[in-house]
Amino acid sequence: MRRARLLALLVAGSLAQAGTYDPSPAALATIRQTYQEVTALVSAGKLLRLSRAFDCGPALDTSRTAWKDSRGVIRRYTTEGGGEDSAATVTGYYGPDGRLAFALVQAGAVNGTVAETRAYYGPAGNLLKLDEKVVSGPGYPFGPLWQQVVAFPEVAFSAPPPC
């Protein structure tokens, strides 16, 4: 029994790590190209902007914004929220096929801490690279906000309010 549980834990741990590896420069270049393309489309006003806001009090998901292309594919999706002492914005950038390519997480706290996380995703949705840094301030325990990145923005945008 004990051996079976240990084996199950080892398998679960290896599955959690499957698909996480150091990306090639070519893979990162493709992801950056998607980010730049989506940013340019938003700046040029070529994407339809849809928003939902919720009066929930402290929650990470009190505002949702989706930007859709002419085919109805969400190319950028943002959630915003926070509490009395901190706030975060989580933005995902998606390819023309709707797959998550890149995410930018920006967080701030009342003590002056500003943190930023950049997450790069492969074509299968696997995490290729994660860059986390404190931009300024003494630090704050924001937690792993990159885990709040939305892989399926259509579902998340239409989901019920968090409260």
Measure CA 25 to chain center.
21
Handedness of CA 119, 142, 18, 124 (dihedral sign): negative
Kind plus residue range of the DSSP H or E element containing 134: strand 127-136
**In the chain, what are the domain boundaries?**
21-158
Instruction: Give the 3-state secondary structure of residue 31.
Output: helix
pLDDT in tens, 89-148: 999 999 999 999 999 999 999 999 999 999 999 988 899 999 999 999 999 999 898 899
- Provide the whole-model pTM: 0.83
How does pLDDT run across 5-52, given as a tens digit for each residue? 333 333 333 334 444 465 789 899 999 999 999 999 999 999 999 999
Question: Which amino acid belongs to residue 132?
Answer: E
Q: In terms of DSSP bridges, do strands 114-121 and 74-82 run parallel, antiparallel, or are they unpaired?
A: unpaired
